[in-house]
Amino acid sequence: MSTSALAGRTLPVVFNDRESESRTPANRLYRIPDVARDTFAPCPPAQSVRAGENDLTRLAPGRPRASGEAIAITGRILDEDLRPVRRTLVEVWNANTHGRYSHTRDAANDAPLDPNFYGFGRLLTDDDGRYVLRTIKPGAYIARQDIGWWRPPHVHFSVVGSGVRLVTQMYFPGEPLNEKDFIFMIVPEEERDRVIGRPAPDGTGDRGFEFDIVIRGRFQTPPDMD
Which residues carry out catalysis?
101, 141, 151, 154, 156
Spell 182-199 as b/e; 16+ CB within 10 A means b: ebbeebeeeeeebbbbee
Question: What is the distance between the alpha carbons of residues 226 and 214, in angstroms, rounded to a whole number?
Answer: 19
Question: What is the distance between the alpha carbons of residues 174 and 117, in angstroms, rounded to a whole number?
Answer: 25
Q: Which helix (H) or strand (E) element contains residue 9?
A: strand 9-13
Find the distance separating the first CA and the last CA of the chain, reported in whole Å: 53
Nearest to 134 by CA among 52, 77, 224, 68: 52
Question: What is the distance between the alpha carbons of residues 137 and 199, in angstroms, rounded to a whole number?
Answer: 13
Spell 13-30 as b/e; 16+ CB within 10 A means b: eeeeeeeeeeeeeeeeee
